[in-house]
Amino acid sequence: MDIQGGMKLFDQLNARYAELLPLVESSGYEGDQINRAALVGFSQFSSTENWGDDHIHFIAQRRRTDMDLAELSDDEKLLTSLCYGALMAQVFERRISELEFKLYEMHLAGFILQLGGKIGT
């Protein structure tokens, strides 16, 4: 994947936001909404059986930095979390490398801000 691959992934998740949001709400996972969104994003590319504590800790760390420092709406935070989950699954399934993950992660905030609050469009 090149940088366009990451942007395409983010676009696909944004386009499916209305479809994926009910899965976040109905997920059997007991975490909060942000963690459930990450799990739903992950589940689009890997089995939820592969979801582990390391993924939960990663999201917790990002919440303390990226997601909480930015003044994001709830929908923007959920889409960000969906994207992080999807990226983690891509790495787990060896579809992208750690380096590609970091590259895509650097572009995620710009993607979210570029949407201008128009999540799901």
CB neighbour list of residue 108: distance below 8 Å, 6 or more residues apart: 6, 10, 80, 83, 84, 87
Task: Tell me how far CA of residue 21 lies from CA of 2, 14, 67, 104, in angstroms.
Answer: 28, 11, 18, 22
User: What are the tens digits of pLDDT across the range 42-79?
Assistant: 999 999 999 999 999 998 888 877 666 567 888 999 99
The model carries a pTM of 0.91
Q: Tens of pLDDT along 71-118?
A: 788 899 999 999 999 999 999 999 999 999 999 999 998 999 899 889
Domain boundaries, the chain: 3-113
Please determine, for residue 27, whether its predicted confidence score (pLDDT) is greater than 70.
Answer: no
Per-residue pLDDT at 69 = 53
